[in-house]
Structure 1
């Protein structure tokens, strides 16, 4: 999902984490409005991506790995596996099972809809890649081709007994901008979104796919060429321009919003392009979107409100009104302005939009990556990815929120409310925090789905730590939040453990009293006070608990697990060492082992590896993406991926012993970098499109990139400086006006030559 490479994202599998020493009902501290609290209702999930609530009380959760879990109710701590589609799902980078929806008549109409990256090209048979992407072809070089699949599952109790494939489309060359969201409208139609499947590193109009011998250029077969023919500007209509495919032939479903018959997956007869002979175009009601990851419907209307994940500049909320057919402009536009990289590429499909006023619908609201959404001390900027959106329609929250639009950002770890204006629509000028970062950097975790649940309250999915959260409002006194820490949490008997509840809080600031159940038998009163200790003399697993009580008698409880007679294993990464410096495409071998005081050597089956990219918007603003996991092996290899600089790799080894205790160790691997300098002749002209969505810049300038990375650069056809017009002539490296530079290993200067006319 590339939610985006800079998120992103952050797709950390909970099972790979070392045992937590702090148990917190809300997994992080955050700032919420008065009388609101953030509570975890489900935990222990593996990369959850979406949640849905059935009328009979059941709760369905989609996991990125292709598994759908079902809880009997909000109090059920142990889910049942409803469906396991993992053999068909390509769970790699941002790809996976991303969309989930229940039939509005569920369970009488026993249908559960899923939307996922299918591990095969359109019309192929999974698995093709097996949750990986080798080099060649390279995930961000030629790309590992997959498709998208929309299916209807039939429920028999808590088990799916049939998968009916409704659509297999959405050609995806690169590991992001995959499929998106599912939503039933009040009109009974099934709405579906999907991303453009294009490169997130460079301007991509279909020219990629033939860097490695034996790989096919233009693997999606975009016009005006065919599979095997690389596209060129200005006529190219592939890559990110698949989002504009309703303006070409054939039409694909990439970068679009669909309105479907939920029984057949076909377009409905009152759709805006219903008279077309193309079945895909008949499905489309909106297009020109980059990664429309989530959408919602405004209560009392048929309007769709779409959160579209941007590139380097803007995140968008787009309003699709009844009648549809709107073009939101990507990749020719981002936010309300022209996208400089694609404009500089001189593409005919973009020029047609630029020359036709009114052909593109501007975002209802867009926020810049360089600005706070809500201004306060410590508010987040930089890395951004709008990954959740939902309307509040009444319930226990204050009446002022009725009609408010909640939207969340996975990278900024925040959820905001756009409050309604005088006309009843959300007013972009009235934005406020719902869950925002606190002084320690806590916030809403990494939300990837916002949903209205029982009672009208807001729930959200934190993919990174495997939790589902409930935003609760209590008009009167709120319950305190208990937080307990323990040190150590495991060891040989006798084991003395020191406990602390000093991090517990009361929303009203009242003084708390403390009561401990130290032996885990369910009876409190073993100790009082904010801190205490206990010595465990008998081997076993204990679950001590802390109960805190505020002055009004409201309580909160937290637990922690103590393992006596067992200690976690000690993992060791033998290779690679932290001294390794990689370049894009390098094959890096890894190996490791683990010893355990009780078990001896941990077998390979108890070892798992996770490769992560740490991507930084700035030196102080970094986030992680899971690239790939390797389970049950002591050694293997991976290929260093292409990514915007600054970024680095982390390889994590987790060892789990026979009793389930885990420990992890990590090695950080920095890249080889090179300085590229760009000039024009004459000097002082502008170039655009370099690297990761660089805006047009006045020459000369230099950028640092990773050796071997692909970087697109564009020289405008003509420029006017000091009343003189200059026309592009050539590049010093012999490249086309817009072309891709594979970063060399030595500093290099590139000059664009212009003629004065």
Structure 2
């Protein structure tokens, strides 16, 4: 998903979530692209408003209210007209109104905020009584461990924080925490924040610190107040987005059953993504990872009325858990309901509903489930936490209100992409200006697909998954949706560096003003030819009237007509404006900055070039520079580098790893799921704000991982692919990947097998670091039939030669057959008490339709361990909770034919 870079492309940050997404900037190998050249060509052709390309519903328009921001992550509106915007680096900006194009810094939290990969200042909320109560709440990735000092992982430039390797962002992980803080004017006696300039700086009070986060994604996210004034907050699982993470990488957060720094193993590990199920493992302190919490905004403690009143303080804070990354959520107006978007893993995105946060604590199933299905990587690792949840059944977890598959369209026939997906914004419409059909609709955005949808209400007034409309295709990098003045919808576009307003214009859409300029910079005197004839009106209310502001005084009184020309004789940045009015009197404006007396620099990347292939862990050195016609050679902070990971399973998404300044530097190639590649981007900016960007693609070496089972056909798991072996997967060379083999009994053909070991000698579930191509074999051995040639007897025998012993003699051609009546049974004496956990029944044509498997210690008192109804003959494998027994029997209650019950084999196994 892409939106163009900000007007002065200083950074290209990414939103948090499973994978912040952006479309790839592609070039031929060995060719560096100049964004300045590309942008100059675009500007010369069409300089105006990106709304021209957006196909919103009739009479809607998208308008930019603020632009030139650096990675905005959240926007909030004060009743007194002021607007607050959070930027990912840790800056909160304050605007006096929606027409204030300048704004100012309200708070600078960059020293304590970790800004790298998907981490940063991600959430913002104003106190419900703002501005009378001037407190502003922020939630961010804290650049330190819980209770530790900051910055643990410092930056060279104060903005782009570095995770050195080792430990590596996606290797051992740079461990950080999450924070909720309260920002207030230092002198509260002065009242509202409008007086801030006279009252001194803003103070920060830490309200809550938790959310241990080992890896680069799934940090904290949203803050929102309920109608009762209590504060909701959400946080991700802090785990690896690359493989099934149960704490096997260093157990950095100190989860059971081992100490911090000691790798956990399956099936007992409770770390990594399993922290999202921490509330189900009360033997250790509860963490907040993968939860929604409800707290007192004054103290940070659990809010009054929460469903849990015992246990540790975190357990009492939680109102929902089992979430991967509930990055964005919203409270449905007039209710207590929380509607959240949970960023998905490999297959699904979810919208979940908490109808009554004070009534019960809800478990949404992650990482054991994604949507309604088991998650292959975590299921394959046979983890106790998940296995226990599976045994509890579907009722133990809450199904999503709506889920959409990464490979599918949300709305049939829409232009929004598929593949990479990341739900990234939720907001209800409760205003009065939009058409009635949107009243009560839930709007949600997907950053990867660049789209916004409206889930309109059904007959019960709740958002209805059968009434979803594509609202804003090609919406850009929206990572926050928020209701603003009059209830209108606003969005924070992190890629475009802007805040947008979705405006409804009633029966007449204003025109869209567009400026073409033959030049945007150059030496003085600078002659400029301007053309507004590309302006359009969706309603066809022609002719359009044109008025130009050529002297930058804000008055459109310097020229009329579709074209205009002017000459700038003085050095500086000059803003020209165009006002276009349709035949019904509706108007729109566009502006263009012309820099006279200056020309843009020319950037260059000297090393590396695009022919160099990398592997995970390689140190990649880079060098470059820029020459400016006026300033000469640019150095230092005039040269800004970005390292961007492009992940392209179909449509691409991006992770901005970090940034650096200066002519030279280096970084360590990070681990990531394949297919991915790195972009190294250099932006050179001269003293007049003109810039040039060069970009080089760096593609990785790849290796194959082949998983083989002996015997063939047993399902093995590589990352999130689980299928019958043998099969092969491709990974980036040097990647760390998870593999697992089932420890449960496997039926292959007529034989039951149990896991014996991997060819590398490691546990059934483990990680491997892939160098060259590798083949791993999981070996299984036949299980021991405890009933083989043991004493057997039956309720009846049809005739001689078909006695009970024939079912346990090991022959595939002999059989026991009963008389033609119900019920009938066959039992075997194991000779001594043994652990029994399953049986195999190999039926002849006369089979049982309904039957039970029972065990006994004495052959007299029987306990039913498994029941089968609707049997279809052939071979049945029935597993059950292991129990100690000497006698095992099959008890048939309903025959499938007119004949008796007939078994070629009755086999008994320990599990």
TM-score, normalised with respect to structure 2: 0.78
Contact 2:226 2:336 in 1 (8 A): yes
Alpha-carbon contact 1:573-1:653 (below 8 Å) kept: yes
Following superposition, the deviation at residue 489 of structure 1 comes to 1.0
Task: Assess if the C-alpha contact under 8 Å between 2:47 and 2:517 holds in 1.
Answer: no
Cα shift at 1:370? 0.7
The separation in 2 between residues aligned to 1:625 and 1:9, in whole angstroms, is: 8
Deviations 1:611-631 (A, max 9, x none): 11111022xx22322110113
Report whether the alignment pairs 1:169 with 2:200.
Answer: no
SS at 2:652 equivalent: strand
1:251 aligned onto 2:307: no
Q: Which has the larger displacement, 375-384 or 42-51? A: 375-384
Deviation at 1:534, TM superposition (A): 4.7
Deviation at 1:532, TM superposition (A): 5.4
Deviations 1:349-372 (A, max 9, x none): 101110112111111111100111
C-alpha distance in structure 2 between counterparts of 1:236 and 1:377, whole Å: 43
The residue that corresponds to 2:761 in the other structure is 734
Shift of 1:412: 0.5
Between 1:496-505 and 1:367-376, the stretch displaced more is 496-505
Give the distance between the partners of 2:770 and 2:349, measured in 1 at CA: 29
Aligned position for 1:7: 20
Partner of 2:663: 634
Tell me if 1:260 matches 2:286.
no
**Given that residues 6 and 616 in structure 1 are in contact (C-alpha distance below 8 angstroms), is that contact kept between their aligned partners in structure 2?**
no
Deviation per CA, 1:489-532: give whole Å up to 9, x if none.
Answer: 11123434443435433222444344444454545465555555
Residue number among 117, 120, 132 corresponding to 1:96 in the alignment: 120
Partner SS state of residue 133, structure 2: coil
Deviation of 1:78 after TM superposition, in Å, equals: 1.2
* Residue 515 of structure 2 is aligned to residue 484 of structure 1: yes
Specify whether residues 281 and 377 from structure 1 end up closer, same or farther in structure 2 by C-alpha distance, changes over 3 A only: closer
* Larger Rg computed on CA atoms: 2
Separation (CA, whole Å) in 1 of partners of 2:519 and 2:495: 25
Tell whether 2:152 aligns with 1:120: no
* 1:211 counterpart residue number: none
Residue 386 of structure 1 corresponds to 423
Structure 1 residue aligned with 2:10: none
After superposition, residues 687-698 of structure 1 pair within 5 angstroms as: 687-688=716-717, 690-691=718-719, 693-694=720-721, 696-698=722-724
Equivalent of residue 656 in structure 1, options 682, 685, 689: 685
Match of 2:225 among 176, 184, 193: 184
1:369 maps to 2:406: yes
Give deviations 1:408-450, integer Å, cap 9, x for gaps: 10110101011111111111111101101xxxxxx11011111
Instruction: State the Cα distance separating 1:327 from its structure 2 match.
Output: 0.6
Change (3 A) 1:285 1:384: same
**Cα distance between partner residues in 2 of 1:313 and 1:526:** 56
Tell me if 1:196 matches 2:225: no
- Choose between structure 1 and 2 for higher RCO, CA contacts under 8 A separated by at least 6 residues: 1
The alignment of Structure 1 onto Structure 2 pairs a total of residues equal to 732
1:540 maps to 2:572: yes
Q: Does 1:313 align with 2:343?
A: no
Secondary structure of the residue aligned to 2:182 is strand
User: Which residue pairs with 2:319 in the alignment?
Assistant: 285
Q: Which residue of 2 aligns with 1:207?
A: 248
Given that residues 52 and 512 in structure 2 are in contact (C-alpha distance below 8 angstroms), is that contact kept between their aligned partners in structure 1?
Answer: no
* TM-score using structure 1 length: 0.93
Rounded to whole Å, the distance in 2 between the matches of 1:320 and 1:623 is 29
Give the structure 2 partner of residue 672 of structure 1: 701
1:460 is aligned, of 481, 487, 491, to: 491
* Local SS of the residue matching 2:779: strand
Cα distance change on mapping 1:42 and 1:2 into 2, 3 Å: closer
Mapping 1:412-491, distance limit 5 Å: 412-436=449-473, 443-491=474-522
Match status 1:713 vs 2:739? yes
Residues 330-349 of structure 1: matches in 2 within 5 Å? Answer: 330-349=366-385
Contact 1:390 1:451 in 2 (8 A): yes
Gaps of 5+ in 2: 1-13, 26-33, 155-160, 784-911
Q: Does 1:236 align with 2:269?
A: yes
Q: Residue 524 and residue 114 in structure 1: after superposition, are their counterparts in 2 closer, same or farther (change >3 A)?
A: closer
Q: Give the SS at the match of 1:617.
A: coil
Deviations 1:11-35 (A, max 9, x none): 99xxx98577354344672111111
Displacement of 1:312: 0.6
Q: 1:724 to 1:370 in 2, by over 3 A?
A: farther
Aligned to 1:610: 642
Residues 1:227 and 2:227 are matched in the alignment: no
573-582 or 177-186, which moves further after superposition? Answer: 573-582
Contact 1:575-1:589 within 8 A present in 2 as well: yes
Question: CA–CA distance in 2 between the matches of 1:602 and 1:324?
Answer: 60
Indicate conservation of the 8 Å contact 1:196/1:291, yes or no: yes
Structure 2 residue matching 1:8: 3-state secondary structure:
coil
For residues 237 and 726 of structure 2, the distance between their equivalents in structure 1, rounded to whole angstroms, comes to 33
Instruction: State the distance in 1 between where 2:74 and 2:371 align.
Output: 26
Structure 1, unmatched stretches of 5+, are 209-216, 437-442
How much does 1:751 deviate? 2.1
**Secondary structure, counterpart of 2:141 in structure 1:** strand
Superposition deviation, residue 536 in structure 1: 4.3
- The separation in 2 between residues aligned to 1:60 and 1:510, in whole angstroms, is 37
Aligned position for 1:495: 526
CA distance in 1, matches of 2:352, 2:168: 33
Please state if 1:325 is matched with 2:361.
Answer: yes
Deviation at 1:668, TM superposition (A): 1.2
Asked whether the equivalents of residues 115 and 151 of structure 1 are also in contact (C-alpha less than 8 Å), the reply is: yes
